[in-house]
Structure 1
Amino acid sequence: MTRKIKVLQLQNRYNVNASDLAEQVIQGLPAERYEVTTAFLRGRPGPGEPVSRAARSVYFGFSQGATKGLRLRVLWTLYQHCRAERYDAVIAHRFKPINALMLLNRWLRIPACIGVLHGLGEYDRAYRRWELRRLLTPFWRLVGVSRAVRDDLLGCGAGLTSDTVRQINNAIDIARAEQLQHPRQHARELLGLSADDFIFGTIGRLVPVKGHIHLIEAFARIKDEYPGTTLAIIGEGRSRDELEAAIERHGLQGRVRLLGAKDDALQYVRAFDVFVMPSLSEGLPLALLEGMSGHLPVIGSDIDSLRPILEDCGGRIFPVGQPQALAERLREVLELSSAQRVEEGERAYAYLCRAHAVDDFRRQYRELLDELQARRG
């Protein structure tokens, strides 16, 4: 019997959920051919929390402080683990795991290595660029999870090329998303929203970087022109007090609804008429893709990680952090006919299926591993 290809997938901290893309990578590697170990430098599941689909999970249990600076204990532990397991391939997510395995692979010489970058600016620091030039070998390929991340890597000044950097778009399981989603009226009932209002909606933690304050400020500019409209925000976080103060300041009580955190929030996405993403910064804009899965028109800020997606799907873009411009985008959608809004939502959905389907995502990682394994031969 042919020996299975042993793959280590390494992440900085425990994070396992149905939409986690590391889990989607695992699902793309058939168990009859691959033996996958998923490992986390920090954290572990609590009682009732999900575990990985991988054949084995390893929780190294390091503190946050241990993963900073020289990280000697982390490096030594990883080295011993990898030497004992004799992996054929590794997939490392985000800068710290990638950097650690690049350092160690000078001695381990694992022949197929993939480093996945989820955000922009990871190699903005001169020292990181210098180190990447020294450590990058033919064993490695870097993956940008979007066009913006890929272009950022190619342009960072570390000598990366289209051969060493690939683009594998972040993705969602569209079929699962649609199965989860409640019909429009039922979703509104579950959230306690009006059956008749026009609802702008968004999903995201209530933290400053998500830009909810700018969305509320924009909505305040149109509330009197369009009295039958509501803004609904699903999420919870430390900015709640600030947002509640803005709601009171603008007299938006009952017009802006802070709905709190919801499990599998995308099940409610069809309660919205339009999905808005006003983020100031995003690495992996899965919430925008989830909005598209509801066949909704989408509006988003012009940050690097959102702009290419919005351009390609026919969405509406506004300058980041500018409520007046965002208010204009809200007005534009309100002035469309119902048929035009449906057409805009279907265009976004078609783009989602074309560019961010999870089956394509899984296949591309599998093919990249196969390519690197073939070079070994």
Structure 2
Amino acid sequence: MTIRVLQFICPAGYYGAERWVNALLSVPPSADVEQHLAITEEPGVCDEVLQRCGLPEARQHRIAMSSKFDLRALKGLVDLIRQQRIDIIHTHGYKSDILGAIAARWAGIASVCTPHGFENSTDKKLRAYMWLGGKAFHWFDWVCPLSPDIQQTVLTQYRVNPAKVRLINNGVDLAEIERAMQQPAVKTSDDFTIGYIGQLISRKNISATLEAFALLQQQAPQSRLLLIGDGEERQRLTELAHKLGVAQKVEFLGFRDDRLQLLPTFDCFVMTSSLEGIPRCLMEAMAAKVCVTAFNIPGVDQLISHQRTGLLADYGDSKALTALWLRLIDDPAAKLRLAEAGCQFVYQHFSAQAMERAYCQLYVEMLNPRAV
């Protein structure tokens, strides 16, 4: 029996959740599963997740949505489920969780959601989505957080029944990394280069990165910072770089299709987030043999073991982060050793193949428990 699964996401761009979906779809199914992907087609929304999914066109779908929350899209989603004879809907993100949970009940099919993380933003609209998304968790047959910390939040803050919560660790498309490393970008500067790839939003706490870099400039002026990505914080961060006197050594590169090829131009990767799941950009950097440095928070600690697979500073300690960078400048051999160990760790524990096998097992179990 073929199990038809509809991956459903309301794309915010082409960031962690969108790339997670494509990592899952990049792996040939380990069971008799036929994957479909649907996105909401909203004004100004990026459809790159659909363009890059690699599925046959007949299994790529768009749900018309005239505004940020057009309830008429529900009917379009239910019609698609019925037309394609979908057995399971698998959702990603607050809005898709809300729509997907209702559509699954309406269409009478099984449902699973993957919480990719939570925001600590004060934005009232975003917090309303989070609250509704949390309520929607209770409607799903399974909730599958991708890190232990997210699992704990689902269980304690949202009080989801533990019997229907299953941890399935995040995974990265290692083949995509390997393809990118075949044609890496060439480093054009002798400066010690610190890089970041991801959204420029409040929970990524890029201000702390800039503050640590400003301290580094005082002791190692032959250094630079590359920020790849975009978001609502970009203007404020640009102004902060000027205020700190480091604007000439900080490059805001925006969203880049060649971001993975740029990884080898980094001497180290940095992450100073206040809240994460298991960050995909950090896994990608490690898989590309880039030494990683970060603030020690839940999720990040699943990837970085201090002085074994990378370097950690206490959350908010910009001076300590600066000291880690100075250590790498002074000890290139340690930088290479940490990069190699980080790469091996990701290959052993966080492959998309392992993630896909776990989900296929769940899909089979959802429709036929006796087959497990």
Matching residue within 63, 66, 71 for 1:63: 66
Q: 1-side partners of 2:9 and 2:238: how far apart? A: 36
8 Å contact from structure 1 (residues 211, 321) kept in 2: no
Counterpart of 1:232, as a letter, is L
> Per-residue CA shift, 1:214-242, capped at 9, x if unaligned?
21211221223223333232334554544
Q: Does 1:24 align with 2:27?
A: no
* TM-score normalised by length of structure 1: 0.79
Q: 2-side partners of 1:204 and 1:236: how far apart? A: 7
Q: 2-side partners of 1:146 and 1:123: how far apart? A: 23
Answer with 89-98 or 309-318: which moved more: 309-318
* TM-score normalised by length of structure 2: 0.80
8 Å contact from structure 1 (residues 28, 365) kept in 2: no
Q: 1:95 aligns to what? A: 94
Q: 2-side partners of 1:105 and 1:358: how far apart? A: 26
Q: 2:214 aligns to what? A: 220
Answer with 164-173 or 81-90: which moved more: 81-90
Q: 2:118 aligns to what? A: 120
Q: 1:363 aligns to what? A: 357
1:42 to 1:301, Cα distance in 2 relative to 1, 3 A: farther
Counterpart of 2:63, as a letter, is F
8 Å contact from structure 1 (residues 143, 167) kept in 2: yes
Q: Does 1:168 align with 2:139?
A: no
> Per-residue CA shift, 1:280-331, capped at 9, x if unaligned?
3445622111211221221122343323322487332334444334323323
Which structure 1 segments of 5+ residues have no match?
none
Alignment of 1:1-377 (within 5 A): 4-13=2-11, 20-28=19-27, 30=29, 33-43=32-42, 50=51, 52-54=53-55, 55-67=58-70, 71=71, 73-110=72-109, 112-120=110-118, 132-133=137-138, 135-136=139-140, 140-161=141-162, 163-181=163-181, 187-189=186-188, 194=189, 196-237=190-231, 239-252=233-246, 254-283=248-277, 285-311=279-305, 314-335=309-330, 337-375=331-369
1:78 to 1:239, Cα distance in 2 relative to 1, 3 A: closer
Counterpart of 2:179, as a letter, is Q
Q: RMSD between aligned alpha carbons?
A: 3.5
Counterpart of 1:76, as a letter, is K
1:245 to 1:52, Cα distance in 2 relative to 1, 3 A: closer
Q: 2-side partners of 1:291 and 1:13: how far apart? A: 23
Q: 2-side partners of 1:260 and 1:90: how far apart? A: 33
8 Å contact from structure 1 (residues 29, 366) kept in 2: no
**Identity across matched positions, percent:** 24
Which structure 2 segments of 5+ residues have no match?
120-126
Partner SS, residue 69 of structure 2: helix
8 Å contact from structure 1 (residues 123, 129) kept in 2: no
Q: 1-side partners of 2:68 and 2:178: how far apart? A: 41
Q: 2-side partners of 1:183 and 1:85: how far apart? A: 39
Query: Higher Cα Rg: structure 1 or 2?
Result: 1
8 Å contact from structure 1 (residues 14, 40) kept in 2: no
> Per-residue CA shift, 1:28-68, capped at 9, x if unaligned?
45499433332223348779x8264334222121133434x
